[in-house]
Chains A and B, each alone.
Chain A
Amino acid sequence: MGIVTVAESTTEQALAPKPEGRTRVIAIIMAIVGLSTLLLFGIGSAATAHSTLNFSPINLSSSPPLHLGSLTLPTRWTVVVAALVMIGLGVEVFLRRPKGFVMGRFGIVAVLFLLALLFWAARTPGPSPVPFINLTDILTGSTEVVMVLIFGSLSGVMCERSGVVNIAIEGQYIAGAFFGSMVVSTTHNFFYAAIVGALVGGLLGLLLAFLALRYLVDQIIVGVVIVTMMSSLSSYLNLQVLTPFPQYNTGNLAPNLAIPLLSKIPILGPVFFNQSGFFYLMIALVALVSFALFKTRYGLHVRAVGEHPHAAATVGINVARVRYINVVLGGAIAGIGGVAFMASQGQFQPGYTSGLGYIALAAMIFGRWRPSGAVVASMIFGISVFLSYTLVSYQVPVSIYVLQMFPYLITIVVVAGLIGRVRPPGADGIPYHRD
């Protein structure tokens, strides 16, 4: 037999129990995590241990914020407070079974867990070679990951709101990062790199749209194949071009552009007002996409096409054209995200996007296909990713590989927990044909 159909949402409706049962499970998970935090890091740490928070970013060369002293807190009690909050949230969800923001609470618990772990790991006396936590550095470091995730989830929103699933975000990241690195190495101009990134991302988006809309190839398959193709292609080109000619792939750290007064604000200043140009671009894009989707005529058409393309067609909207435009624009945004990632790492390395493109999709779902939601979700995922990597330097008695698993495990739980609570655009992933 040659025709294969993926289990439709009817099957998934048939499969998924009402969220209430799962809500209890999630609540229990939250409480258990809170409890382990309490026992392992709270009560389990010596009463004399202290952890120090610093607020002056180490890595910022220009326009540093006003200097705040450091804050030393007793490890045990701080962690206990955090753990109690986590357990409290778990209990609340279990008893009250709220309809909304359940996974949001879970996200908070996940972040608190990592923070508590970090806090505990940085205690003195303790085994960590790094005796303090630089909160500002952590926030600015997370922001880089968050920024990349926002580009990706924004891309997802653009595509899926018009009804097309874009699994190829990871591939668009890779393409943007690779070509962006080459452009910056040769022109030393990040603006050009962003344009090139947008171009390659848009091209991949065009490929996706072309195959999925015109030839009705399954969108998920096209996405996966594009990612595989870009992954291999970039690896191949890396060996052919970047390795013999390393001058095409060095020194590409994007400089930070500080906003004069605001960047002096302690803690938050460097996070929001002293970032690379890509950060500000990202904020502008979020605002632009939000405005366009929900206030303009264009946005109304897009959403109609994504919910009920036939209805849109009967009032004369060109469904295919709307989808093409959105998928290409979405691809362009993801491409820029790839350049932004490269610019935060300084160069291109094969495989270093490590699945962020897929986490961005989870963030989009978490954010309920709204740019504002995608931002919040990206923050939660981004901080988790960054904290997991940060913990490596703190000699935590957990294998670094297990730490690496955290962001992915969190994503799995979030995605599993969200089913039944979120509602994708009505025609998401369904090709539309006349006749």
Chain B
Amino acid sequence: MTDATPVRLHRRLGAQLTSQHPIVVTIFALILGFIVGAIIIITTTASVLDAWRGIFHSWGAPGHAIRLTFDNVGAAYRTMFTGSVVDPNSFWDSLTTGKNWSVTLTPISETLTYATPLVIVSTGVGIAFQTGIFNIGANGQAVLGGIAGGVVATMVHLPMVIHLPLALLAGLAGGMLAGSVPGILKAFTGAHEVIVTIMLNYVVYAFLLFAVLSTPFQQPGQQNDISRTFDGSAQLPPLFGTASGLRVSYGVLVAAVVVVFAWWFLDRSSLGFDFRVTGANPSAAKASGISARSVVVMVFLISGGLAGLAGFVQAASTTHQIDGGFLIGNAGIGFTAITIALLGRNRPMGILWSSLLFAALGVGGRAMQSQTGIPLDLATVIQSVIVLFVATPVLVKEIFRLRAAPVATIKLATQGWGS
């Protein structure tokens, strides 16, 4: 009993590494995701595929194929890293010469820029998930928020100290409006939010085109589906000034506020407590006096509002206008938000880190595309695979033979269409 203590400590550390602890699972899921990505790169890059096809042709062929594989995959992932975090050479250079910091810091700045709206929208989705609600309409809500904020940013002219907050509020309101539809429908008719939100997404996309081509909102002198440029007083300016070349904007402050709000809301507020109880056990929630109806409506208002805010922040900090393809498609930030929220286990801090990760994947993916020609969609595929693996810790455990520990798994029990 006396010298058991040091042994136990050592065993415990070892146990942590091989346990099914959420962070460990996430890391392993990441590794698996990248492996799958590598496989896709291999099978779709002509030169590599040819090399593998010819591995039996000569003795040096397998080595050649492997080398080519490593080169291509390595190049792809390397550019992903240098494009999203930092290029070590550039960093060393800046450190020693004190110059070119803007070049060195650009990748991180880009990642932060992309992460900012992701954090905001994913927080909203995560809050919804904790209440047991799927907000699959986050993308449409973000678009509507972008439109609303954009309208205020272009058609009203006020000093920045009023204009920017007003535009941000408009973004919030736009998202809340879009979120109110599934919220009210679910609260008063029980309509399952999945179909309603997805259909509403398409409605909003059509509305986006309508708005961006309408005379008041359209960029004067353009026939394309592009809006006016936001007033300078309604843009989110770069943190380090335009001269630095770093795009990371004051949007990060907004994101920081959102994260703090989410933590306070879920952990400390009474309404957040109601949300969590409803998500954990709707029957008990009802019996305890929580009004399911008002919870549902509030959830969609908050979640939608955050998504709308994210949409406007995205536009106001990067392009300073919106076009017909704003956030479009099945890979828009609203859908990424679902996967980020899952990865982050619906908690604010987890969502923060996951957003950074996914932003890095996106930014890195772009760099990869421009430098190696591998399209950006690959990054989205990797993201999806990672999420699937994270949502199934049991699967990851089996693949890596991790020891089972009593860890709460992400498990949502659906009951069809609710009637």
Q: Which residues of A are interface residues toward B (Cβ below 8 A)? A: 1-17, 22, 160, 165, 167, 211, 215-222, 224-225, 227-229, 231-233, 235-237, 239-241, 351, 354-355, 358-359, 361-362, 365, 399, 401-402, 404-405, 408-409, 411-412, 415-425, 428-431
Contacts and interface: CB of A to CB of B under 8 A. Distances in A.
B189 A405 contact: no
Interface in B228-272: none
Nearest to B376: A236
B132 to A, nearest CB: 4
B188 A233 contact: no
Contact of B194 (A167, A237, A239, A354): A167
Given A358-B199, A412-B200, A417-B189, A229 B381 contact: yes
B415 to A, nearest CB: 4
7 smallest beta-carbon distances between A and B, as pairs: A428-B416, A236-B377, A12-B418, A16-B190, A2-B408, A231-B330, A232-B380
A175 to B, nearest CB: 13
B62 to A, nearest CB: 25
Contacts of B280: 1, 3-5
B203 A408 contact: yes
Contact of A424 (B186, B200, B207, B416): B416
A1 B189 CA distance: 29
Contacts of A16: 188-190, 418-419
A1 B408 contact: yes
A216 B413 CA distance: 9
Contacts of A225: 338-339, 384, 387-388, 391
Contacts of A424: 416-417, 419
B411 A8 contact: no
Secondary structure dominating the interface of B: helix
A221 B200 CA distance: 19
A431 B413 contact: yes
Interface stretch (B110-118, B281-289, B300-308): B281-289
Interface in B348-399: 375-378, 380-381, 384-385, 387-388, 391-392, 394-395
Contacts of B415: 6, 8-9, 12, 428-430
B410 interface: yes
B192 interface: yes
Nearest to B293: A15
A415 B192 contact: yes
Interface in B295-314: 296
A231 B413 CA distance: 26
Contacts of A13: 190
Given A12-B419, A240-B44, A354-B202, A5 B281 contact: yes
In this complex, the interface size class of chain B, counting residues with CB under 8 Å from chain A, is 35 or more
9 contacts: A3-B408, A4-B132, A11-B283, A11-B286, A229-B384, A351-B330, A362-B199, A415-B192, A415-B199
Nearest to A402: B210
A11 B282 contact: yes
Given A229-B385, A358-B199, A15 B375 contact: no
B199 A220 contact: no
A404 B209 CA distance: 11
Contacts of A425: 416
B296 A430 contact: no
B202 A355 contact: yes
Contacts of B105: none
B95 interface: no
Contact of B199 (A2, A218, A408, A419): A408
B203 A15 contact: no
B283 to A, nearest CB: 5
Given A220-B134, A405-B206, A428-B415, 19 more contacts: A1-B276, A3-B409, A4-B129, A10-B283, A11-B286, A16-B190, A215-B395, A218-B391, A218-B410, A220-B412, A229-B380, A229-B385, A232-B331, A237-B44, A240-B375, A402-B210, A404-B206, A408-B200, A419-B417
A4 B207 contact: no
B199 A355 contact: yes
A15 B417 contact: no
Given A225-B387, A416-B185, A6 B134 contact: yes
A221 B136 CA distance: 10
A239 B283 CA distance: 49
A240 B49 CA distance: 14
A217 B391 contact: yes
Interface string B12-23: 000000000010
A237 B378 CA distance: 9
A358 B136 CA distance: 12
B331 A231 contact: yes
B109 interface: no
A7 B133 contact: yes
A232 B384 contact: yes
A4 B391 contact: no
Contacts of A240: 44, 375
Contacts of B202: 354-355, 404-405, 408
A402 B203 CA distance: 8
Nearest to B283: A10
A355 B198 contact: yes
B130 interface: yes
B392 A4 contact: no
B411 A415 contact: no
Contacts of B203: 405, 408-409, 412
Contacts of B201: 355
Contacts of B417: 365, 419, 422, 424, 428
Contacts of A217: 388, 391-392
B122 interface: no
Contacts of B381: 229, 232-233, 236
B338 A224 contact: yes
A32 to B, nearest CB: 18
Nearest to A244: B46
B292 interface: yes
B405 interface: no
Nearest to B339: A225
Contacts of B136: 224
Contacts of B378: 236
B190 A430 contact: no
Contact of B416 (A4, A160, A420): A160
B207 A419 contact: no
A15 B391 contact: no
B17 to A, nearest CB: 20
Given A167-B194, A224-B335, A9 B418 contact: yes
